[in-house]
Amino acid sequence: MTTTAAQSRTAHSHPYDYAELPRLMGLMTGDEKHGPAATSTLDVLWVLYDRVLRVGPERTSDPGRDRFLLSKGHGPMAYYAVLAAKGFLPVEWLPGFGSYDSPLGHHPDRVLVPGAEIGSGSLGHGLPIAVGTALGLRAQGLDGPAVWVLVGDAELDEGSNHEAIAFAGPAGLDRLHAVVVDNSSASHARPGGIAARFEAAGWSTVTVDGRDHAALYSAFTAPHSGRPHVVVARVEPKDD
């Protein structure tokens, strides 16, 4: 698996950049044009993998790597495209998306996808697992690695998230970072409600335009001493 990924990178003469992601997604969807729902996470993922996360295909089992947990496992084409662009998995895998023998399902499986820290699909699991990951790193004295988890705004409907949010703040899990991709898909929501929930639990919060790479980078790297940090990344409503 690693060999194949390495060969694939060698065959591609330059590192993939952001502009090539639609083509990579097109290998899975059969169309290079993608609506807001398919790309809601794309910019967040790109900025994280391109500029923030200390991860790489050569260090997927390095205890000191950052951990990125994709909790919102629906519509993972953007995730697979970014992983392929960054050399975690061969681009040749993308066209098989969802087929019987493909490692790339419509929800990711960590056992099958190089670089995927968790399998997801059922909503509300990633953030609580990320809490445990942060606790595990802290217990081993690994205070370098950051733990990141991406959730969707409607995913926050699941109560399990609120067990995690309410615990992480008072526990002072300052290596824990959440990014909520808010495409207004929750049926019952109040404006500003997402950040308020986290803030009430003692998190550091920033709300930004989820398409603005500079704003995302700034929000991702904002200091948040002693507190977990959430970035609410607002993108176009999925029904537009």
Partner 1 sequence: MDTMRDRFAPVVSRLLDEDPRVAVVLAEIGTANFTEAQARHPDRVINVGIREQLLVSAGAGLALTGMRPVLHTFASFLVERPFEQVKLDLGHQDVGAVLVSAAASFDWPAGGFTHMAPGDVALLDTLDGWTVHVPGHPDEAETLLRHAVAAGDDKVYVRLSTQSNTEGLAVDGARFLTLREGRDGVVIAVGPMLDAVLAATEGLDVTVLYATTVRPFDTAGLRRATEAAGTDVVLVEPYLAGTSTAAVNDALAEVPHRVLGLGVGRRELRKYGEVDEHIAAHGLDARTLRERIRGFVGAGHLSSYVRT
> Given the rule CB under 8 A, which residues bind partner 1?
63, 67, 109-111, 117-119, 122, 124-125, 128-140, 142, 159-160, 163-164, 166-167
Smallest distance from partner 1 to CB 146, Å: 13
| Shorter beta-carbon distance to partner 1: residue 61 or 225 | 61
Whose Cβ is closer to partner 1: residue 132's or residue 237's?
132
Please, which residue, 171 or 186, has the CB nearer to partner 1? 171
Q: Which is nearer to partner 1, 50 or 163 (CB)?
A: 163
Closest distance to partner 1 from the beta carbon of 132 (Å)? 2
CB nearer to partner 1: pick between 119 and 210: 119
Q: Give the 3-state DSSP-derived string for the chain, with helices as H, strands as E and coil as C.
A: CHHHHHHHHHHCCCCCCHHHHHHHHHHHHCCCCCCHHHHCCHHHHHHHHHHHCCCCHHHCCCCCCCEEEECCCCCCHHHHHHHHHCCCCCHHHHHHCCCCCCCCCCCCCCCCCCCCCCCCCCCCCHHHHHHHHHHHHHHCCCCCCCEEEEEECHHHHCHHHHHHHHHHCCCCCCCEEEEEEECCCCCCCCCCHHHHHHHHCCCEEEEEECCCHHHHHHHHCCCCCCCCEEEEEECCCCCC
Q: How far is the CB of 171 from partner 1 (least distance, A)?
A: 8
Q: How far is the CB of 66 from partner 1 (least distance, A)?
A: 12
Least spacing, CB of residue 128 vs partner 1, in Å: 3
